[in-house]
Amino acid sequence: MTNAMPQQAETSVISAKALNLTFQTNDGPVHALRDVNLEVGKGDFVSFIGPSGCGKTTFLRVMADLEQPTSGEVLVNGVSPEAARKARAYGYVFQAAGLYPWRSIGGNIRLPLEIMGYDKAAQAERVREVLELVELAGFENKYPWQLSGGMQQRASIARALAFEADILLMDEPFGALDEIVRDHLNEQLLALWARTQKTICFVTHSIPEAVYLSTKIVVMSPRPGRITDVIESPLPKERPLDIRDTPEFLEIAHRVREGLRAGHAYD
């Protein structure tokens, strides 16, 4: 018997077409994004890597409806970023954990749920679930200052996961952490991604981090901010940390480095 179901075409979760964004500043126009085209499939883990000022954060902010493009189009889940924001299609994790110091960890995670009108029982259930996902079960009543930097960043990820969005936008979430903690969080994030099947857009400055985490690596260069290479990773989904010593890993890292070098102005 043949399967009569048509093969499901890969659905684009993020689709950018001829995207341009120019900031008007007192020193003249800044071309933060120039002719950016990108398709991100469901369940992809996409890293954006490039030197300071190449438009990584701006691109993420366009997806999140925090910046408006000058021209071109971005669709998130097939709709405008504004419609996606209203539908709570994504969670956003910032560079700094950004937890409210006067609220407990549980209170911080509950905040978006309170705003969205989840009832008390559903809030409690969701907080418990996401704290487990980021391995912070039992820390609900602690305050941010009682947690290490890595734990705070995990709590911030838990908050972004709380309202069950399919997309996670992460702007250099581990940039301020030391390498050992960062390695550990990278492992945990991969496990979380595998468990939840989310689509993740992740900004980073680190080549090993981008190669270790991603199914797709987007290399960007500044002035004007544009995409110079998109690498589909041949690495398996199952990735122990020591995969970073394999020839396949080093080959991709080399290609990313070459892409960064080609687009670098050295000024």
The residues with which 33 forms a beta bridge, in sequence order, are 21
Number of neighbours of residue 26 by Cβ within 10 angstroms: 4
Q: Which is nearer to ligand ATP, 130 or 231 (CB)?
A: 231
- At 18, is the secondary structure helix, strand, or coil? strand
Q: Tell me if 56 contacts ligand ATP by CB under 6 A.
A: yes
- At 142, is the secondary structure helix, strand, or coil? coil
> Among 11, 23, 37, 234, which residue sits at the site for ligand ATP (rule: CB under 6 A)?
23
CB of 75 to ligand ATP, least distance (A): 20
CB of 205 to ligand ATP, least distance (A): 6
Q: Tell me if 107 contacts ligand ATP by CB under 6 A.
A: no
Q: Which is nearer to ligand ATP, 53 or 107 (CB)?
A: 53
Of 148, 146, 227, 230, the closest CA to residue 185 belongs to 148
102 by Cβ neighbours in 10 Å (0-12 / 13-18 / 19+) ranks as exposed
> Among 15, 57, 199, 221, which residue sits at the site for ligand ATP (rule: CB under 6 A)?
57
How far apart, in whole angstroms, are the C-alpha atoms of residue 2 and residue 178? 54
- At 229, is the secondary structure helix, strand, or coil? strand
Q: Tell me if 74 contacts ligand ATP by CB under 6 A.
A: no
Q: Tell me if 224 contacts ligand ATP by CB under 6 A.
A: no
Q: Which is nearer to ligand ATP, 54 or 161 (CB)?
A: 54
Q: Tell me if 259 contacts ligand ATP by CB under 6 A.
A: no
Asked if residue 147 lies in contact with residue 155, where contact means CB atoms within 8 angstroms, the answer is yes
- Residues at the site binding ligand ATP, with contacts judged by CB under 6 A: 23, 25, 30, 32, 50, 52-58, 225
